Amino acid sequence: MGKEKTHINIVVIGHVDSGKSTTTGHLIYKCGGIDKRTIEKFEKEAAEMGKGSFKYAWVLDKLKAERERGITIDISLWKFETTKYYITIIDAPGHRDFIKNMITGTSQADCAVLIVAAGVGEFEAGISKNGQTREHALLAYTLGVKQLIVGVNKMDSTEPAYSEKRYDEIVKEVSAYIKKIGYNPATVPFVPISGWHGDNMLEPSPNMPWFKGWKVERKEGNASGVSLLEALDTILPPTRPTDKPLRLPLQDVYKIGGIGTVPVGRVETGILRPGMVVTFAPVNITTEVKSVEMHHEALSEALPGDNVGFNVKNVSVKDIRRGNVCGDSKSDPPQEAAQFTSQVIILNHPGQISAGYSPVIDCHTAHIACKFAELKEKIDRRSGKKLEDNPKSLKSGDAAIVEMVPGKPMCVESFSQYPPLGRFAVRDMRQTVAVGVIKNVEKKSGGAGKVTKSAQKARAAPAPRTPPGACLHLRLPEALGQRLDARHQGPVEVLQEERRPRPRLPRPALATLSARFTNKLSDP
């Protein structure tokens, strides 16, 4: 068997009618995980709805509608394959929580695909001050999506059709804008496409003989090609931040009979190993990791991107919770934040925001009210230059440096050190009103905190590691199994669903589980 392809996450952005769904649907339809039967079903429904010929967007619209209604969908439907990568579309605008997901999502995008419509008047509407093209591109850059591909869509509806002049005009304007934001246009492939007709999507289009292909120049190596699919193959795979200290925000904590407390979450930076002494913040509890498991297999180490369950000793399920952060007690352990300085962009607030405003902040898996204690300065949202000291208030479209104070204990980090723990969404009135990145954090000195007996022992003598192959058979709930994890295909295997209040296993089952666990661990 050959080496498995690398997994890449992309986010598709652009103005409301730029053709994102059609373009994405086309890629999924031609290269993806939709089986023939599902496509036939969609085609039949499209015809019944009077849509006439089948549209690729119907694929995406159907999936979106089912997602919105909470119907579970096989995640492979959101995946497609290129010659080099497995690509997962982690989100597309149109989902209600698009911006929130982009910031706090379980998967961070490796690349953004910006779709702009070339049609008469359409491009101008999208790139205008009120259009979403600018907003989405700015958001992507602010939130750390540093790779970009631009699809100049609807080339069939230019005047005349497939106009080189119109394409050049759009490339010039989009290049100037993305350069202002911070992208280097020389590293961005621009591809003239028709998501509906398929021009330059998978292979060169006979309708645009003038297009000699795109080129990118970058220090990691130059690349060139013609189609959008080839452009996706030039994405640089993410470098896993294994060299940084461990940060693992908890998604949930389970109590499993015969095994004990099992926190679950995604490793964001660093490496988690059995035998490691870890600290949970902001609760300041230090204990030993007995074993680490993913997809029903014990791991000798968990790397960034891995969704894992791990067994900790002498810690009750009441001691730690979702939103806590696990880190290595010996290497920059996480701490509670007393306050933090952020750069925020107000996206959508009906009134004025002034000091004292206390919305809910979604940062990694934490969901906590924070006070805008001080509005330090208003800045230019593109250049970052100071415009005004101590502004009285902020409104939609403003960017500012703000001092924030959490209403309850919270653990966050600066964006420069730990990006996934340093970006946040500001939620109010059931919508995302602002986004921000954390510039620096003033940590609380929490004293010694609770150190479990297990941690004390482990510090005195390193514990033996769980042998590879030993397995906890964690009964993780189904919701976790269905969470999208782009770096590992297939959901977490589920033994039994367990919801709060947590029922204990009947004694015979508990004994079996315990015996199975013990036997597995004692196997040579």
Contact criterion met (CB below 8 Å) for 296 and 516: no
Cβ atoms within 10 Å, residue 185: 17
Q: What is the pLDDT of residue 304?
A: 87
Rounded Cα–Cα distance for residues 164 and 149 (Å): 19
Strands 148-153 and 111-117: parallel
Q: Which strands, in side-by-side order, build the sheet including 6-14?
A: 79-81, 85-91, 6-14, 111-117, 148-153, 190-192
pTM over 0.75: no
Q: Which long-range contacts (CB under 8 A, 24 or more apart) does 271-274 make?
A: 271/242, 271/246, 271/301, 271/302, 271/303, 272/246, 272/248, 272/301, 272/302, 272/308, 272/310, 272/326, 273/300, 273/301, 273/302, 273/465, 274/298, 274/299, 274/300, 274/310, 274/463, 274/465, 274/466
Q: How far is C-alpha 97 from the geometric centre of its chain's CA atoms? A: 12
Rounded Cα–Cα distance for residues 241 and 3 (Å): 22
Rounded Cα–Cα distance for residues 84 and 14 (Å): 25
The residues facing 95 across adjacent strands are 93
Q: What is the pLDDT of residue 477?
A: 45
Contact criterion met (CB below 8 Å) for 455 and 329: yes
* Tally of helices (H runs) and strands (E runs) in the chain: 11, 23
Q: What is the pLDDT of residue 491?
A: 35
Which residues 6+ apart lie within 8 Å of 34 measured at CB? 28, 59, 77
Rounded Cα–Cα distance for residues 398 and 408 (Å): 27
Rounded Cα–Cα distance for residues 358 and 232 (Å): 41
Rounded Cα–Cα distance for residues 487 and 79 (Å): 12
Q: What are phi and psi of 179, to 5 degrees?
A: -65, -40
Domains in the chain (CATH in brackets) are 6-234 (3.40.50.300), 247-328 (2.40.30.10), 337-443 (2.40.30.10)
Q: Flag residues of the chain having pLDDT under 70.
A: 1-4, 16-18, 32-36, 39, 46, 49-78, 90-108, 124-133, 382, 446-448, 453, 459-524
Cβ atoms within 10 Å, residue 176: 10
Residue 129, SS3 per DSSP? coil
Which residues 6+ apart lie within 8 Å of 16 measured at CB? 93, 132
Q: What is the pLDDT of residue 93?
A: 55
Q: What is the pLDDT of residue 148?
A: 94
Residue 61, SS3 per DSSP? helix
Contact criterion met (CB below 8 Å) for 109 and 10: yes
Q: What is the pLDDT of residue 349?
A: 83
Residue 410, SS3 per DSSP? coil
Rounded Cα–Cα distance for residues 145 and 183 (Å): 10
Q: What is the pLDDT of residue 469?
A: 44
Q: What is the pLDDT of residue 294?
A: 80
